[in-house]
Structure 1
Amino acid sequence: MKKVLVPLAAGFEELEAVTIIDLLRRANISVTVAGLADGAITGSRGTRILPDEILDTSSASDYDMIVLPGGLPGADNLNNDSRIHDLLKQMANDGRYIAAICAAPKVLATAGLLKNKEVTSFPGALSDVATEGMHHTGMNTVIDGNVITSRGPGTAMDFSLELIQLLAGTGTRQKVEQGLQR
């Protein structure tokens, strides 16, 4: 069974986080929600989610993919946590999937993982990050090697379906999509 880590920080974007978690679980992908601290994490709109564990107990080698939800100040809080950067770099070095949506691609850029990559993000989220060779496409979802990025809350469902296709194949994606009545 494929395993995905979804770290949550205070101020995460609820629509993105819940869509990612829900759709991956519908595809029978094991999802671990890890908080940066103990206890419930409050999103940018006040929704509280109780993580499965604290990030300290997470190990990069246990997961096939890490997915960073965006939102503000959630993406900034992820970006300011050295554990996130360590996990991202370790997973990238191991060739595992790294995914981020909305403002969270900035975390990937800060960790040095977007060099010579095609990416997308929420408009303006990467404007203050200088990354050699990074090309911002403006597309809804971009897959470049092991890096997957997406624009924001409105693209969360399609982003999640792309993640399912990468991890579980086209048939599983179609089955989940059919169940959504799209």
Structure 2
Amino acid sequence: MKKAVICLAEGFEDVEAVMPIDLLRRAGVSVTVAGVTGWEIVSSRGLRLVADALLADLVPGDADALILPGGMPGASNLAASSDVTAWIKACIAQDKIVAAICASPAVVLGKAGVLKGKRFTCYPGNEKDVTDGIFVTEPVVIDGNIVTSRGVGTADAFALELIRLLAGKDMRDKVAKATLIE
């Protein structure tokens, strides 16, 4: 069974966190909700989620994918975490999936220095913070093991691409059909 870790910090964007958690679990992927700022994390819209684990207690890179939702100040809180940076670096070094949506591609991955020469997308306006990546406006962009997406309106496409990468196209299609996404 493939494993994914999704990092939640205070101020995360609700849909960008819950959509990947839900759809990946429907696809049979083991998803660990990792609290970066504590066990109970409050979203930008006031949704309270309880983490399965604290990111600080997990071994960096011990998953097939790392997922970073956006939202503000969620993305800034992720970027400020040395644990998140350690996970990004470990996953990149091990050629595992690093996925970020909304502000997080620019704010978190850009700060971690992993977008150099890479195609990426993010929430409009955040791309100005990345000077060494190649910004494109596609809903979901995959460059090597880095997956980026634009925001709430692309969260379903983002989650489905993660399913395709982790569980295969047939499972992606099965989940999309069962949830009426396509």
Q: Does TM, normalized by the shorter one, top 0.5?
A: yes
Whichever residue aligns with residue 33 of structure 1, its letter is: V
Map residues 73-92 of structure 1 onto 2, 5 A cutoff.
Answer: 73-92=73-92
1:128-160 deviation per Cα after TM superposition (whole angstroms, max 9, x unaligned): 2322xx110111100001000000000000110
Bigger shift: residues 54-63 or 144-153? 54-63
Distance 1:7 1:175 in 2: 26
Measured after TM superposition, the shift of residue 36 of structure 1 is 1.3
Whichever residue aligns with residue 52 of structure 1, its letter is: D
1:29-68 deviation per Cα after TM superposition (whole angstroms, max 9, x unaligned): 0000010133310000000000101111111342000000
Distance 2:175 2:6 in 1: 19
CA contact (8 A) 2:8 2:37 kept: no
CA contact (8 A) 2:61 2:87 kept: no
Measured after TM superposition, the shift of residue 96 of structure 1 is 0.5
1:174 aligns to what?
173
Distance 1:71 1:38 in 2: 17
Measured after TM superposition, the shift of residue 172 of structure 1 is 0.4
Distance 1:161 1:145 in 2: 17
Q: How many residues are aligned here? A: 180
Map residues 34-45 of structure 1 onto 2, 5 A cutoff.
Answer: 34-45=34-45
Unmatched segments (≥5 aa) in structure 1: none
- TM-score w.r.t. length of structure 2: 0.96
Across the aligned residues of Structure 1 and Structure 2, the Cα RMSD in angstroms comes to 0.9
Map residues 5-20 of structure 1 onto 2, 5 A cutoff.
Answer: 5-20=5-20
- TM-score w.r.t. length of structure 1: 0.96
1:157 and 2:165 aligned: no
CA contact (8 A) 2:9 2:36 kept: yes
Runs in 1 of length 4+ with deviation above 4 angstroms?
none
